[in-house]
Amino acid sequence: MVFLFNSDAERARIFAAEFARVLPDQRFVADRNAVAPEQVRYLLTWTAPADLERYPNLEVLFSIGAGIDQFGAGLPDHVKLVRMVEDGIIRMMQEYVTLAVLALHRDLPGYIEQQARGEWQARTVQQATARRIGVLGLGMLGTAVIDRLRAFSFPLAGWSRTAHDLPGVACYHGSAQLEDFLAQTDILICLLPLTPETQGFLNARLFSCLPVGASIVHAGRGPQLDQTALLEALASGHLAGAVIDVTDPEPLPSDHPLWRHPKVILTPHVASVTQPDTAAKAVIANIRRHEAGLDPIGLVDRNLGY
């Protein structure tokens, strides 16, 4: 049976070398036209091919990224969907969110605006111990980000759909506790998966529950953010700033106000990118788990959407 790799040639080269070194008995193919469809047991891709039904013996579909919302609802029930869980994705998200939190904490957008005016002026500094950080989403990435932020002595809190217990973190869960969580958050980090429940989650009502002068870091998915509501909250002064890595659409139109907003740092969906060397190791480990009758790491609950 075949592992079919559907991504770019450079990643294919790295994956193929790792498969040859560690899993030589597993046939690795990077050209779909070079294999009979009925031979494909595993498929790694970013989006599902339109003709997925041509692979009748497909057992596991691996996403090459941490997100899986792009696959929609068209996968056969018997096919396991596995999101990418690998060290490179985790490290990069930790780096990005730390960068964003510190930029907002030390008012980097304000200094960039002053620099453009040629203005040399110190801005108010608040101690990290007084800046409350709240993370939306306590999955793999959310908990990893919290671990990295601990070193700065920020008061840390997290919110998720279900209850969690993390040392040194005020944990909230469910819709009943969301407002209490938001009321005690000065910098809000969104790392939620995209589901029907989280579409439009970052909206005017949510922003109104944050303290005046709060900021946001959005590294979840573009459709979770009501961009008009964000612009209005920034204009009113209720929000002080934002670091945005994901938008809807991507890229934004060139005339969109977020591009040149003085209180916004905008990046082009680069917070975390799959690293092929560590990703290949993670996929091989999951193939071994699957063949041993174990669930792969990152197996998606299709009912929950993550």
Active-site residue set:
221, 269
Question: Which residues are within 8 A (CB) of 139 and not within 5 positions of it... i.e. 6 or more apart?
Answer: 160, 191, 193, 306
Query: What does the alpha-carbon distance between residue 47 and residue 196 come to, in Å, rounded to a whole number?
Result: 19
Max CA separation in the chain (angstroms): 67
In degrees, rounded to 5, the angle at the alpha carbon of residue 87 between the alpha carbons of residues 86 and 93 is: 100
Q: Give the dihedral of Cα atoms 224, 87, 70, 259; nearest 10 deg.
A: 50
CA–CA gap between residue 77 and residue 219 (Å, rounded): 29
Under 8 Å between Cβ of 4 and 42: yes
In order of 23, 27, 115, 215, 222, the CA distances from 20 in angstroms are 6, 9, 53, 47, 38
Q: Identify whether 249 is preceded by a cis peptide bond (ω within 30 of 0).
A: yes
Give helix 108-117 / helix 87-105 axis angle, nearest 10°: 60
Query: CA distances (Å), 156 to each of 97, 143, 181, in order?
Result: 14, 11, 11
